[in-house]
């Protein structure tokens, strides 16, 4: 599929007919997979895992070729999460697949009820570029665990990663089981016209809306894993050294191009200077002093020129409006490099305060009243993640009870993604539904409600309706 040039109308027509052919082919497979056993699904996940490990060096090379990503970071953020997802499914799939019995409710006395987990059928996974392997193959594990036929559309922005993902998929699966179509947005749009049984999309809220609108035409269910601005709060009681190190690790891994990276920091005014000193020390320890950082082997690059310009424009806009660069700020357009940058004194109307940054810029905003921070967070679209650093339970409770976000960490950042027993997802603008572990299995399954009749109490309500029927209904209304 990747050999077809998608830039021309004829290329797009060709890929469109390929998409239709594979989608039609997957119909029979999806029907057959309804009866797939635990052993069959496990065999597929094992093969996928083995192929990923066998292609480990190629994945590392792709990460470097696409955006200069350090090998350790590729292993930590691209390979390890998929292996963890696969191992979790391998260990627990039997339990997940087993029908779950429920007690009869009062209205259903005399019956036996259970939930049966069925594969949704033919599912589409659309992935972004920032963790291309993790966010294609992670959901693929869940889709296979649930017994689906799958089409994957990776991002066109990381072509080397897409090529490796395609190679792995073709090594392990026949196209009726799992197929992959590379290409730009029109390829995704051609896929979105098809009546898939589920779409699992990871990307921006703007494209998420396009996906949901397209899905609505076929009443296809969606999981939308989106982005946004994830706020981080550091109060006056926080362990500033630990907070600085952890926040900067979470922010500058992948050069800030992480959906759950701390987007901006609210720090209590009384500890701001000390926190900044810890941040500068932590940056120097991780990447060297300001001018040396460009040569650090631990910093990835911005994915392409367009994004490098977008991030630089956010920085320029903020400084033009009076913001101060605390550290960083160096730009090397040729290398798509922007230094890890802390910015202070940003006016509220700066673009960086409303757009998802998705790059190595970290605004630091001081506060004196926690309630004003909470009000600001609640005035913005609901974030994907929220982080609070504090040793005061009252403050933690206040933040956790008065705000919302897809996920949250207290005295930690980003590890909610790695916690396989928690649902990973957003809320409204940052996403709909969730993935990972059992929640990923459920996203790709239909939870079918089944009732088996035993004692036929419903006959009390059969017509012809008599005074007795009416009295029984009234009795139920009072007692149910």
Of 271 and 386, the one with the shorter C-beta distance to ligand NAD is 386
Q: Which helix (H) or strand (E) holds 476?
A: helix 467-479
Q: How would you classify the pairing of strands 331-332 and 337-338? A: antiparallel
The only residue of 139, 360, 431, 433 in contact with ligand NAD, by rule CB under 6 A: 431
- What's the distance, Cα to Cα, between the start and end of the chain in Å? 58
Q: Which 218-277 residues touch ligand NAD, going by CB under 6 A? A: 225-227, 259
The only residue of 203, 262, 359, 360 in contact with ligand NAD, by rule CB under 6 A: 203
Of 129 and 173, the one with the shorter C-beta distance to ligand NAD is 129
Q: Which 432-461 residues touch ligand NAD, going by CB under 6 A? A: none
Strand order from edge to edge, sheet including 100-102: 100-102, 111-119, 445-453
Instruction: Look up residue 75 and give its DSSP letter.
Output: I
Is 353 among the residues that bind ligand NAD (CB under 6 A)? no
Q: How far is the CB of 402 from ligand NAD (least distance, A)?
A: 23
Contact mark string toward ligand NAD, 123..162, x via CB under 6 A: ---xxxxx----x-----------------x-xx------
Q: How would you classify the pairing of strands 122-126 and 198-202? A: parallel
Of 20 and 402, the one with the shorter C-beta distance to ligand NAD is 20
The only residue of 265, 384, 386, 413 in contact with ligand NAD, by rule CB under 6 A: 384
Of 280, 266, 259, the C-alpha closest to 389 is 266
For the residues of 180-192, what is the DSSP string, one character each?
A: E---SHHHHHHHH
Burial (CB count within 10 angstroms: exposed 0-12, middle 13-18, buried 19+), residue 219:
exposed
The only residue of 29, 136, 142, 202 in contact with ligand NAD, by rule CB under 6 A: 202
Instruction: Return the sign of the alpha-carbon dihedral for residues 387, 300, 432, 100.
Output: negative
- CA-to-CA distance for 110 and 478, rounded, in angstroms? 19
In the bound complex, which residue of the shown chain has the CB atom lying closest to ligand NAD? 227
118 given a catalytic annotation? no
Catalytic residue among 78, 182, 259, 413: 259
225 given a catalytic annotation? yes
Q: How far is the CB of 318 from ligand NAD (least distance, A)?
A: 20
Q: How far is the CB of 151 from ligand NAD (least distance, A)?
A: 12
Contact mark string toward ligand NAD, 356..375, x via CB under 6 A: x-x-----------------
Q: Which stretch binds ligand NAD (CB under 6 A): 60-68, 121-129, 248-256, 395-403?
A: 121-129
Cross-strand partners of 125? 152, 200
Q: How far is the CB of 480 from ligand NAD (least distance, A)?
A: 41
Of 456, 446, 370, 467, the C-alpha closest to 33 is 446
Of 358, 287, 349, the C-alpha closest to 318 is 349
Quickly tell me which residue has 């076929």 as its tokens: 218
Burial (CB count within 10 angstroms: exposed 0-12, middle 13-18, buried 19+), residue 123:
buried
User: From the CB of residue 408, how many other CB atoms can be counted at a distance below 10 Å?
Assistant: 18
- Judged by the rule CB under 6 A, the positions of this chain that interact with ligand NAD are 126-130, 135, 153, 155-156, 184-185, 188-189, 192, 202-204, 207, 210, 225-227, 259, 356, 358, 384, 426, 431
The residues annotated as belonging to the active site are 225, 259
């Amino acid at each position: 599929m990747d050999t077809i040039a998608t830039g021309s109308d004829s290329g797009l027509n060709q890929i469109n007919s390929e998409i239709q052919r594979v989608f039609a082919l997957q119909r029979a497979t999806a029907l057959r997979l309804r009866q797939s056993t635990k052993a069959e699904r496990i065999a597929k996940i094992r093969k996928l895992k083995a192929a990923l490990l066998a292609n480990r060096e190629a994945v590392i090379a792709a990460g470097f070729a696409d955006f200069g990503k350090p090998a350790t970071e590729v292993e930590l953020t691209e390979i390890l999460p998929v292996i963890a997802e696969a191992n979790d499914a391998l260990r627990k799939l039997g339990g997940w697949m087993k029908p779950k019995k429920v007690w009869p409710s009062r209205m259903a006395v005399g019956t036996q009820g259970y939930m049966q987990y069925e594969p949704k059928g033919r599912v589409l996974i659309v992935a972004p570029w920032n963790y291309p392997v993790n966010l294609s193959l992670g959901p693929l594990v869940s889709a296979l665990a649930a017994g689906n036929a799958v089409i994957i559309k990776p991002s066109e922005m990381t072509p080397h990663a897409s090529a490796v993902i395609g190679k792995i998929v073709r090594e392990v699966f026949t196209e009726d089981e799992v197929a992959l179509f590379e290409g730009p947005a029109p390829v995704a749009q051609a896929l979105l016209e098809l009546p898939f049984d589920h779409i699992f999309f990871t990307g921006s809220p703007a494209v998420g809306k396009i996906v949901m609108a397209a899905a609505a035409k076929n009443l296809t269910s969606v999981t939308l894993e989106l982005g946004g601005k994830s706020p981080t709060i550091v109060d006056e009681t926080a362990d500033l050294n630990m907070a600085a190190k952890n926040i900067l690790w979470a922010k500058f891994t992948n050069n800030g191009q992480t959906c759950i990276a701390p987007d901006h920091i609210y720090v209590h005014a009384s500890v701001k200077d000390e926190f900044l000193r810890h941040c500068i020390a932590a940056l120097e320890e991780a990447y060297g002093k300001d001018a040396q950082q460009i040569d650090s082997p631990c910093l990835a690059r911005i994915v392409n020129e367009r994004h490098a310009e977008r991030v630089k424009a956010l920085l320029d806009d903020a400084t033009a409006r009076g913001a101060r660069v605390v550290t960083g700020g160096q730009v090397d357009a040729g290398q798509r490099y922007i230094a890890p940058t802390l910015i202070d004194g940003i006016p509220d109307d700066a673009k960086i305060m409303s757009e998802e940054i998705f790059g190595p810029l970290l605004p630091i905003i001081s506060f004196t009243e926690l309630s004003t921070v909470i009000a600001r967070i609640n005035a913005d679209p609901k974030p994907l993640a929220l982080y609070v650093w504090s040793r005061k339970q009252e403050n933690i409770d206040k933040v956790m009870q008065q705000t919302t976000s897809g996920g949250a960490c207290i005295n930690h950042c980003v590890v909610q993604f790695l916690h396989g027993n928690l649902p990973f997802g957003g809320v409204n603008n940052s996403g709909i539904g969730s993935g990972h572990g059992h929640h990923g299995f459920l996203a790709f399954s239909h939870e079918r409600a089944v009732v088996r009749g035993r004692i036929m109490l419903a006959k009390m309500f059969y017509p012809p309706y008599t005074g007795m029927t009416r009295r029984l209904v009234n009795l139920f209304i009072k007692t149910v």
